[in-house]
Amino acid sequence: MALVSEDEGMHYEGYCIRPPSEADSILLQVTLGCSHNRCTFCGTYRDKRFRIKDDRIILNDILYAARHMQNEDRLFLMDGDALIIPQPRLMWILERIREHLPWVKRVGAYANVKSIKMKSVEELRQLRQTNLGILYYGVETGDDDIRTAIHKGSTAANCIEMGRRVKEAGIRLSATVLLGIGGRENSLRHARATGELLSAMDPDFVGALTVMLIPGTPLYQDCVNGTFELPDEAGLLRELREMIANTHLSRGYFFSNHASNYLPVKAKLPSGKQKALDLIDAALRGEVGLKPEWMRAL
């Protein structure tokens, strides 16, 4: 396989994102965009048509990382849902990572219902054995009416089933949920349904982000048209409280420490639930300061 120049660096295309917990990871872009790319709130990949990158480019980036990134022991596969890559090709990528970056202890990637559904439990186990250690799963909400409205393309039941499949394969599961996605009117309904979904799925981690209205997205236009209204700061805190109160994990962490959130919370469930609820109550009483608007971002 002919390689491109060894001195060109990593071949990133377009706007790239990764989870907060992968801030110190090697970022290897193996796909462009998102195979779904229809969620009404998301503007991340609107400038990209989905495709899997050329193996030659991927291998070149792995070799570049082997020369220049020997201090990073985790690697994250971008873009939106690298798990969608067909099994033989994804195994090839993971094997090349293990061959050339033997110090990497864990590989992570984003996932959605569609990409998980394309993999059997046995195939997921094969990926786990080749160092895929965590999947970041875009759950958003447990309310089916809201899932339909935001074009998630799957039901809450499908979402739970695919999350359980990941856990059965021995891969750590980090579920992402969205504060505010139900709007002001459906805020607490969304919170309760999402807590129930998370309880049924029992992920290892939950990461709560707050919806940021992005110009050019359908949800932003709904807000302009007056058909969607975000809860205010107090409403978002009440929603977060309701969600945590209704989330029952056997053993896991609930985080709201993303830059989009007004109040950072880190709770080990079930033991730390009450402490998290008490913190939110104190914030609602004005006893704990919230992040100023200018500091919030995606």
Question: Which of 134-148, 230-244, 284-298 shows the lowest mean pLDDT across its residues?
Answer: 284-298
Within a domain: 157: yes
Residue 4 has pLDDT above 60, yes or no: no
Within a domain: 196: yes
Structure tokens belonging to residue 65:
């990382």
pLDDT at 33: 84
Residue 26 has pLDDT above 90, yes or no: yes
Q: Alpha-carbon Rg of the chain, whole angstroms? A: 19
Residue 236 has pLDDT above 80, yes or no: yes
What residues does 268 pair with on adjacent strands? 253
Structure tokens belonging to residue 8:
């060109």
CATH label of the domain that carries residue 180:
3.20.20.70
Q: Of 242, 114, 137, 136, which is closest to residue 182 (Cα–Cα)?
A: 242
Tell me the mean pLDDT in the region 202-207: 98
**Integer Cα distance of 292 and 298 in angstroms:** 14
Question: Which of 21-25, 29-33, 44-48 shows the lowest mean pLDDT across its residues?
Answer: 44-48
Q: Of 51, 44, 35, which is closest to residue 16 (Cα–Cα)?
A: 44
Question: Which of 37-46, 190-199, 215-224, 275-284 shows the lowest mean pLDDT across its residues?
Answer: 37-46
DSSP string computed for 79-128: STTGGGS-HHHHHHHHHHHHHH-TT--EEEEEE-HHHHHTS-HHHHHHHH
Within a domain: 8: no
Within a domain: 10: no
Within a domain: 295: no
Please, what is the average pLDDT of the chain? 93
pTM of the predicted model over 0.85? yes
Structure tokens belonging to residue 14:
């377009």
Structural domain span for residue 82: 20-288
**Integer Cα distance of 230 and 219 in angstroms:** 10
Q: How confident is the model at residue 3 (pLDDT cuts 50, 70, 90)?
A: very low
Within a domain: 95: yes
Total domains present in the chain: 1
Tell me the mean pLDDT in the region 34-39: 85
Q: How confident is the model at residue 7 (pLDDT cuts 50, 70, 90)?
A: low
Q: How confident is the model at residue 2 (pLDDT cuts 50, 70, 90)?
A: very low
pLDDT at 226: 95
Q: How confident is the model at residue 5 (pLDDT cuts 50, 70, 90)?
A: very low
Tens digits of residue pLDDT in 146-203: 999 999 999 999 999 999 999 999 999 999 999 999 999 999 999 999 999 999 999 9
Within a domain: 296: no
**Integer Cα distance of 87 and 76 in angstroms:** 17
Within a domain: 107: yes
CB 204 within 8 A of CB 173: yes
